[in-house]
Structure 1
Amino acid sequence: MSSSNFIRGTMLLTAASFLSKFLGMIYVIPFTNIVGETGMTLYGFAYTPYSILISVSTVGVPLAVSKFVSKYNSLDDYYTSMRIFKLGTVLMFITGIVAFFIMYFGADVIAKLFLAEEKKEISLEDAAHVIQMVSFALIIIPSMSIMRGFFQGNQSMGPTAVSQVIEQIARITFLLIGVFLIKVVWDGSNSTAVGLATFSAFVGAIASWVVLLMYWKNRKRFLSEKLDQQKKKVRIPRSKLLKELFQYAGPFVLVGIATSLYQLVDLITFDKAMVAIGKGDISTIAYSVFNVQGHKVILIPVTIATGLSLALIPEITKSFNLNQVDRLNKQINQSLQIIMFFVLPAVAGLVILSHEIYGGLFGIDNISIAGPLFAWYAPTALTFAFFTVTCSILQGIEQQKFTLISLSAGILIKILLNSLMIQLLAEKGAVITTLLATSVAVFLNLWRIKTSLKFSYRRFRKLSLLMLIFTIVMAILLLLVKWLFGFFISYNDGQLIAFVITIIAVFIGGTFYMYFGYMSTLFERIVGKRIPILDRIFRR
């Protein structure tokens, strides 16, 4: 695949992931207004263990299959690629069923881990109910993910991109209609509404499966032709295939659940630590800010890393296996630079406009707590993004085992310091601990890439300095816009006003930043070519 095809595939997945995450943020607005912060925290109780189990049940196999298929396709061994696809599908169906039984029948035990006994806002029965409802998605998602991995390994990003978007649309549509009917029309309970909301993951998974099966039907003949053209079919023992697959898969599962693991530590310790220091009255609101609503918002810039990572793995693997050193170094530089170019200014904007963004999206009722806490949480977008991409790079250069070390170091810091920091700094302590832990993990990954490949970060540092200068200029512009708005309106004037300020400020800041990047040729140097649509926009 050429550099332009690499960028095109990357941008396709990034755009699809961005749209998916954007929809995932937008639906939270009406959802929060219907079920409230308590309902959102209840929702988080279900989704954090679900996210972990969905990754554990797949054992990282979908992304590992992508890497596996890319490797053997580069060796023209399509027979082995097809074998691992079929073997992985059966394996994922079995582990999905097992994960479903664990989550459904262990819901009471899981719920007890999260709730402080002194808290009565959310009952144990309600928490167990929503956990059981989300568990049904575990039956179907693991085997569905295998097909996505197979298409990506064949350097076909379209099926994954389209199925992601359709899955999100089906899930959100079912969720919002169902919750509206239960709460508004029938005046039902929060537990019932949130339970149905978590069940929507199963509905979305079915919709995604249908899309992927349509792609499979259309492309099966092409894949069969490649298989028939293979003259020599080497039948590698099944045990050897599984061993190689799990060697790839182990690190993938931990990378996939990295964010959820940090949230799990908060889920277990946050409520209890806040009650212990006499702040149990705001713990539900605070937890919802940075682990539910706020996290949805920062996932939008992080999605750039996610889309890049999915497209990056097969390409890095191919370049490494073919010993194409210059191409490999260029791809690594591109991936790191794209993350910095998009996520750094996004973080600056989120910090400066934290009150306006949170108030405009989720209301200003608890803005005195939510605004400052959201500003503290925003920088984790950068560390989560870099962790995702650096782990993908390490996996592509056969250093996947090191990701276990870096993630373990980060999680260990989070476990050891979280309760202590909460007692010292209240709700901000949990956020600062996450930022510290993820920063350490990223630093370790960058160090390993450097030592393994003798990779130089000189170009990355040089361009990052230019991005930092542009971000500072943009930040000054945003502060000026806020100051001017202050003479007329403020986020305290209501949710709609806060939303209007956010839209105008983000448009101004984003436009100026992209203009700086375009006129300085920074964006062109990062992606490797001119972007026609930017030429047309800025020439006007």
Structure 2
Amino acid sequence: MAKKSFIQGAVILGIAGIIIKIMGAFFRIPLANLIGEKGMGYYQTAYPIYVLFLTLATAGIPIAISKMVSERVAIGQHYEAYRVFRVSFILLFAIGICSSAILFFGAGHIVNAIGNPGAKYAMMAIAPALLFVPIMAAYRGYFQGTQNMKPTAASQVVEQFFRVVAGLSLAYVLIKEGTVFAAAGASFGATAGSVMGLITVMAIYYYKRNGVKRDIERGSRSNTERGQDILVKILMIAIPVTIGAAIMPIMNTIDVGIVMRRLQETGWSEEAANGLYGQLTGMAGPLINFPQVLTQAIAMSLVPAIAAAYKQKDMNFLNYNVRLGIRTAIIIGLPCAFGLMTLSEPIMRLLYPMQKASAISAAPCLFIMAFGVIFLSTVQTLTGVLQGLGKPMVPVINLLIGAIIKVILTYTLTGVNSINVRGAAIGTVAAYIVASSLNIIAVKKYTGVKFDFMLTYVKPVSSALVMSGVVWATYRLMYGFFGNALSTMVAVLIGALVYCAMLFVTKSIKKEELRALPKGGKIINLMNKIKK
């Protein structure tokens, strides 16, 4: 297999992720206006449980497929790569049937146990998606293993598009029947989206079937692995990844009890404590998730690239991808972190103009959590590297250590009245700092990689600092004339342009790295013309 850097795949997945996030925003806001808080209560009862089932079913197996397929393709074993796909398809199909049946037929018992029986139909409507998404994950994992991210990106965008269109349309049609049925219609959007996403990825596979058959026929069929052995290897990779994916959601669930109790112990009323927690998780927290779309794309693309290089014992190319992956994550994470820190209050006021007091109060939480974006970016990237190296338990243990520290700090600091809910934000940042530091130690241990301190850290930080200064000055100069909203948006736009320019001025990005991007050659030609 020809050497492939992860960067093109990361760009493709990153663009798809941004599109999906934008479509998601266009779904949630009109839905809330349409079905109201009561309908959203039903929807929000069903959807998180669906996500939990989905995480348990699909968090680790696609990564396992991607890694194992990439390893076999790297040494010409295309038939064995196909067998990995076939075994994993059967496994995911079985998981899909079981999880879908549990959620559909157990919907009544689940919602009664939660204490929200009106959510039964919403849960039943979303349950069939658990059959189709795992099957889709098998195809995605296979394509990712061949380092072709386009089918994954295309199916993700199609899935989200039909989820939004079907969910909003059904909610609109069914609202006359009551909010219970409108919420069920919105939930069914996930099922409709999963069906169309599966059709898309299967159509791509069918279109490429002749090439797949040629590769299979060309591949060696000697020393074939037993299906049981392949299954065991898939589970050995998938189970640690799934555990790792569940750690922070579990810790965040524990966070609710800790924060609410500790705030009330220091004199805050139940209502005030709930409001403070809402500022942290409902107002500031979602803004931290946006940069994750891009760094998750890096991590997903790194797994097969690292696995292939490691299987071929090509440590030079492996270390090149590790260094480039870390730099890319830092280059993405820094402007997001510095920008959110510099404009924490203006951004909160821009997004929540009807809740001005709460927005201002939530700004310190955003400032603190924004600092953690840098480390969250590297945690995700280094996790992808370690998974590609066949060390999936290492990042799980490191994140668990970080999560334990988070719980300790959250418990201690939220009990200080002057710090209150900001203690939880500090605990979250500390968790990512610890996990990131431990991951980088592990990567150095297993690969021997050395980082160029100036290129990896100093130049991107310098670029981000200049951007931050320009953003602050732009906002301050404009605020008196144009108000908060326009000043914030213009400052963000100018900051993005300045940061991009500074990356080239400081030579934080090399020409050969630009060339690896889609249309990279055209970007280089444009830069050469500007220089002339």
Please confirm whether the aligned pair reaches a TM-score higher than 0.5, indicating the same fold.
yes
Q: 1:86 to 1:222 in 2, by over 3 A?
A: same
Does 8-17 or 262-271 show the bigger shift?
262-271
Q: Does 1:539 align with 2:530?
A: yes
* Aligned 8 A contact 1:80 1:234 in 2: no
TM-score by length of 2: 0.87
* Offset, 1:262: 4.0
Q: Does 1:502 align with 2:495?
A: no
State the match for 1:329 in structure 2.
319
Q: 2:427 aligns with which of 413, 427, 433?
A: 433
Q: 1:339 to 1:19 in 2, by over 3 A?
A: same
* Offset, 1:14: 1.9
In the alignment, the residues of structure 2 paired with residue 393 and residue 111 of structure 1 have an alpha-carbon distance, to the nearest angstrom, of 43
In the alignment, the residues of structure 2 paired with residue 58 and residue 532 of structure 1 have an alpha-carbon distance, to the nearest angstrom, of 38
State the match for 2:368 in structure 1.
376
State the match for 2:438 in structure 1.
444
In the alignment, the residues of structure 2 paired with residue 341 and residue 448 of structure 1 have an alpha-carbon distance, to the nearest angstrom, of 22
In the alignment, the residues of structure 2 paired with residue 271 and residue 202 of structure 1 have an alpha-carbon distance, to the nearest angstrom, of 35
Q: Does 1:55 align with 2:55?
A: yes
For 1:438, give the aligned amino acid. Answer: Y
TM-score by length of 1: 0.85
Q: 2:239 aligns with which of 220, 240, 250?
A: 250
* Offset, 1:200: 2.4
Identity of aligned residues (%): 23
State the match for 2:456 in structure 1.
463
For 1:519, give the aligned amino acid. Answer: V
* Aligned 8 A contact 1:337 1:460 in 2: no
In the alignment, the residues of structure 1 paired with residue 400 and residue 460 of structure 2 have an alpha-carbon distance, to the nearest angstrom, of 31
Q: CA RMSD in A?
A: 3.2
Q: 1:24 to 1:146 in 2, by over 3 A?
A: same
Q: Does 1:220 align with 2:209?
A: yes
Deviations 1:113-144 (A, max 9, x none): 7xxxxxxxxx6445677556544422221121
In the alignment, the residues of structure 2 paired with residue 225 and residue 149 of structure 1 have an alpha-carbon distance, to the nearest angstrom, of 20
State the match for 2:141 in structure 1.
149
* Offset, 1:501: 3.2
What's the secondary structure of 1:328's corresponding residue?
helix
Deviations 1:377-410 (A, max 9, x none): 3334333322211111011122222122112212
Deviations 1:246-268 (A, max 9, x none): 12212322344455334333355
In the alignment, the residues of structure 1 paired with residue 287 and residue 112 of structure 2 have an alpha-carbon distance, to the nearest angstrom, of 26
Q: 1:252 to 1:438 in 2, by over 3 A?
A: same
For 1:466, give the aligned amino acid. Answer: K
* Offset, 1:146: 0.9
For 2:89, give the aligned amino acid. Answer: T
In the alignment, the residues of structure 2 paired with residue 352 and residue 370 of structure 1 have an alpha-carbon distance, to the nearest angstrom, of 14
State the match for 1:238 in structure 2.
227
What's the secondary structure of 1:487's corresponding residue?
helix
For 2:98, give the aligned amino acid. Answer: V
* Aligned 8 A contact 2:386 2:394 in 1: yes
**Does 1 or 2 have the higher relative contact order (CA < 8 Å, sep 6+)?**
1
* Offset, 1:301: 1.6
Structure 2: runs of 5+ lacking an equivalent:
none
In the alignment, the residues of structure 1 paired with residue 116 and residue 336 of structure 2 have an alpha-carbon distance, to the nearest angstrom, of 38
Q: 1:22 to 1:268 in 2, by over 3 A?
A: farther
For 1:336, give the aligned amino acid. Answer: I
State the match for 2:474 in structure 1.
481
Question: Matches of residues 156-167 of structure 1 in structure 2 within 5 Å?
Answer: 156-167=148-159
* Aligned 8 A contact 1:41 1:287 in 2: no
State the match for 1:98 in structure 2.
98
In the alignment, the residues of structure 2 paired with residue 313 and residue 136 of structure 1 have an alpha-carbon distance, to the nearest angstrom, of 30
Does 403-412 or 266-275 show the bigger shift?
266-275
Does 365-374 or 464-473 show the bigger shift?
365-374
In the alignment, the residues of structure 2 paired with residue 75 and residue 388 of structure 1 have an alpha-carbon distance, to the nearest angstrom, of 27
* Aligned 8 A contact 2:163 2:193 in 1: yes
In the alignment, the residues of structure 1 paired with residue 289 and residue 280 of structure 2 have an alpha-carbon distance, to the nearest angstrom, of 11
For 1:440, give the aligned amino acid. Answer: V
* Offset, 1:5: 5.6
* Aligned 8 A contact 2:159 2:193 in 1: yes
State the match for 1:263 in structure 2.
252
Question: Matches of residues 72-111 of structure 1 in structure 2 within 5 Å?
Answer: 72-103=72-103, 105=106
For 1:81, give the aligned amino acid. Answer: A
How many residues are aligned here?
Answer: 520
* Offset, 1:539: 2.4
Structure 1: runs of 5+ lacking an equivalent:
114-122, 492-497
Q: 1:501 to 1:48 in 2, by over 3 A?
A: farther
Q: Does 1:352 align with 2:342?
A: yes
State the match for 1:410 in structure 2.
402
* Aligned 8 A contact 1:27 1:176 in 2: yes
* Offset, 1:509: 0.3
In the alignment, the residues of structure 2 paired with residue 534 and residue 23 of structure 1 have an alpha-carbon distance, to the nearest angstrom, of 32
In the alignment, the residues of structure 2 paired with residue 267 and residue 128 of structure 1 have an alpha-carbon distance, to the nearest angstrom, of 25
Deviations 1:14-70 (A, max 9, x none): 222222233334544444555678877876554444333212123611110011111
Deviations 1:466-491 (A, max 9, x none): 11111111111111122122212433
State the match for 1:494 in structure 2.
none
Does 432-441 or 308-317 show the bigger shift?
432-441
In the alignment, the residues of structure 2 paired with residue 136 and residue 271 of structure 1 have an alpha-carbon distance, to the nearest angstrom, of 35
